[in-house]
Amino acid sequence: MTSQLIVSISIYIAFCLLGLSIAASITGQHRAARITLQLYLISCLVFYATRAYMKQFFPFTDKIESFVALSVLLAVCALIYRKKLSNKEFITLQVLSLAAASVIFIFVDVIRFPPMFLHTIWYPLHIPVSFAAYAFWFVAGVIAIYAIPAWRRNDAVLMERSLLMTDINRIGFIFFTLAMLFGGIWGYFAWGAYFMWDPKLHWSVILWLYYGNLLHIDRLPKLRNWKIPMYIAGMAMILVAFIGTSFFSQSIHRF
């Protein structure tokens, strides 16, 4: 069996397992949903390990690998917070994970060797932690979506969900801060500058400031009533930063 065939089989098996996990969650088979989601992660591990072997490099250098990475990290976050999430929230995260993984049917998968400016330890440190931040922030956004009824009624349960969103945001913010530090060092070695006037970098700074301010929104009486919609809006901003700047602009971050 060739390496390319292993890559193809593993990712299609992973996609099917993720679909089965969603179906199990919808039908209330929570244990089966958790097990199939864990098997999905194992299948993705085979996918990335094989691609790393083929490239002889860190396997996060193209569109398919990037989207699948986001899918994997959304699934990981869903498992981490399973006991704190409602079934609807858990299913929504699974569906978002499936949507990210469906990119395998959109882009042509061609194994390409990475350019030399990626050959630095700072690149593999930068990419996973930035996607981890996206995933944690998506979890906070999904919780915000399902907290809308409580927000409208000013229900007591809103306080609990609000605190959970802040805790998750804090973890995402730490990851994204590390990603920006690693990315700056990588940029210095690759292009001779810690910061460049690039659309991706602009939106990264915007995201960092946005979610950093959301950490303090509970202490701002005039803004804290807007916490729920602001976390929901944050998901749209992540999509602009991840998809819009990478694939629909002249950014140097085209993967």
Domain check: are 121 and 4 in the same one? no
Domain check: are 248 and 143 in the same one? yes
Domain check: are 56 and 140 in the same one? no
Residue 249 has pLDDT above 60, yes or no: no
Is residue 202 one of the residues assigned to a domain? yes
Is residue 76 one of the residues assigned to a domain? no
Helix-strand-coil split of the chain, %, nearest 5: 80, 0, 20
The pLDDT of residue 102: 93
Task: Please give the average per-residue pLDDT across 148-165, as a whole number.
Answer: 88
The two tokens of residue 172 are 């995402």
Task: Please give the average per-residue pLDDT across 227-234, as a whole number.
Answer: 95
Task: Please give the average per-residue pLDDT across 33-52, as a whole number.
Answer: 94
Which alpha helices (DSSP H) does 103-239 contain, by range? 122-146, 148-153, 157-191, 199-214, 227-239
Task: Please give the average per-residue pLDDT across 43-62, as a whole number.
Answer: 86
Q: pLDDT tens for residues 75-132?
A: 999 999 999 999 999 999 999 999 999 988 887 777 777 766 677 777 788 888 999 9
Q: pLDDT tens for residues 10-30?
A: 999 999 999 999 999 999 999
Last residue of a domain, one of 93, 112, 131: 112
What is the spatial distance between Cα 110 and Cα 186, in angstroms, rounded to a whole number?
A: 25
Domain check: are 199 and 171 in the same one? yes
- Angle of the 199-214 helix axis to the 227-239 helix axis, nearest 10: 160
Query: Which one-letter amino acid corresponds to residue 9?
Result: I
The pLDDT of residue 32: 96
* Residue 244 banded pLDDT, cuts 50, 70, 90: low
Domain check: are 105 and 218 in the same one? no
Is residue 203 one of the residues assigned to a domain? yes
Domain check: are 1 and 59 in the same one? yes
Is residue 77 one of the residues assigned to a domain? no
Domain check: are 104 and 1 in the same one? yes
Q: Which structural domain, as residue segments, surrounds residue 221?
A: 115-255
Q: pLDDT tens for residues 183-229?
A: 888 777 766 666 666 777 788 889 999 999 999 998 888 888 899 99
Residue with tokens 């193209």: 62
Is residue 65 one of the residues assigned to a domain? yes
The pLDDT of residue 37: 97
Domain check: are 95 and 149 in the same one? no
